Amino acid sequence: MPISVRGLIHTYDPDTPFARQVLFGVDLEVGDGEIVGIAGPSRSGKSTLAQYLGGLLRPRQPGMVVIDGIDTGAPDADIAAVRTRVGMVFQFPEDQLFERTVELDVGYAPRLMKMNPADVEARVREALETVGMPFEEFRGRPVHALSGGQKRRVAVAGVLAKGCRTLVLDEPTAGLDPLGREEMLELVASLHRQGLTIVMISNQLEELARMVERLVVLAEGRVAADGPVRRVVSDAALLASTGLRPPGTVAAMQAFAAAGLPVRTDCLTVDEVCDEVARAAGGVRRA
């Protein structure tokens, strides 16, 4: 099991007048090869939880986080090993890119692992090709001159070069233009097809609905739902109570249902919407 979280509590600035509890007993299990979404409104604790999943924060209060068999709360836990298993892609890629060129940045971890230069280059080449950035074209590019989408893909390449088989992506499309966003989603889907375990965090159900199989909703530091994506995104009462907007396809079906058409509302694609409306209206959908 790549990730197991039990009863996790987090308080910022504990033991001070500014103490603020933001996670209240979170349970989460992520199985090998799964793609799981974590949705939740702003300030619901998503990024705080993400830092536990990547071993950047370690439980100091009640609660347990086990990553690939390593209990990160244990005083002698091998946190360096955790960081070679789970790769974090931060909300702001600028927070994790710090070398001058693309090649140096992606090769940072392999160099630290004392690989020989030829092996480092092979890893960097493979990682860059995997994220759709041809090695010869991008190796010498200054990191600061890349587009937002390219920076995020370099961040993904960096964790792939480290050998991580589980990726935690915190709002990977936030702030990207439509093309950068589509490219990023396509990359995440292809990494999942290649067998990587993926945790994708977003405040947009719209994009999670088409990406993940299972969806966890975090609300005010608590898991408000955890189940098959179809069931969670079509749970109108749950979404209303957390302030998340349903995907457009679900909202459309809810409107049809409210108007008296006997339809199911858990449609995730426009094709499904068309088929369901046609079925309920008793007609045959024309191609």
- Say whether residue 60 binds ligand ADP (CB under 6 A): no
Q: Using CA of residue 254, residue 36, residue 89, residue 45, what is the dihedral sign?
A: positive
Size of the site for Mg ion (CB under 5 A): 2
Q: To the nearest whole angstrom, how small is the minimum distance from the Cβ of residue 224 to ligand ADP?
A: 13
Stretch that binds ligand ADP, among 42-50, 135-143, 231-239, 278-286 (CB under 6 A): 42-50
- Say whether residue 22 binds ligand ADP (CB under 6 A): yes
State the binding partner of 60 from ligand ADP, Mg ion, none, CB within 5 to 8 A by kind: none
Task: Please tell me the distance from the alpha carbon of residue 52 to that of residue 168, in angstroms, as a whole number.
Answer: 10
The two structure tokens encoding residue 5:
């979280």
Task: Please tell me the distance from the alpha carbon of residue 237 to that of residue 130, in angstroms, as a whole number.
Answer: 40
- Say whether residue 116 binds ligand ADP (CB under 6 A): no
- Say whether residue 12 binds ligand ADP (CB under 6 A): yes
- Say whether residue 40 binds ligand ADP (CB under 6 A): yes
- Say whether residue 52 binds ligand ADP (CB under 6 A): no
The two structure tokens encoding residue 92:
């702001």
- Say whether residue 51 binds Mg ion (CB under 5 A): no
Question: CB–CB of 77/59 below 8 Å?
Answer: no
Determine the residue with CB nearest Mg ion: 47
Burial of 282 (0-12, 13-18, 19+ CB in 10 A): exposed
Q: To the nearest whole angstrom, how small is the minimum distance from the Cβ of residue 205 to ligand ADP?
A: 14
Question: CB–CB of 162/83 below 8 Å?
Answer: yes
Task: Please tell me the distance from the alpha carbon of residue 118 to that of residue 96, in angstroms, as a whole number.
Answer: 24
List of residues 6+ apart from 22 with CB closer than 8 A: 10, 11, 12, 43, 45, 48, 221
State the binding partner of 173 from Mg ion, ligand ADP, none, CB within 5 to 8 A by kind: none
**Given the rule CB under 6 A, which residues bind ligand ADP?**
12, 20, 22, 40, 42-48
**Given the rule CB under 5 A, which residues bind Mg ion?**
46-47
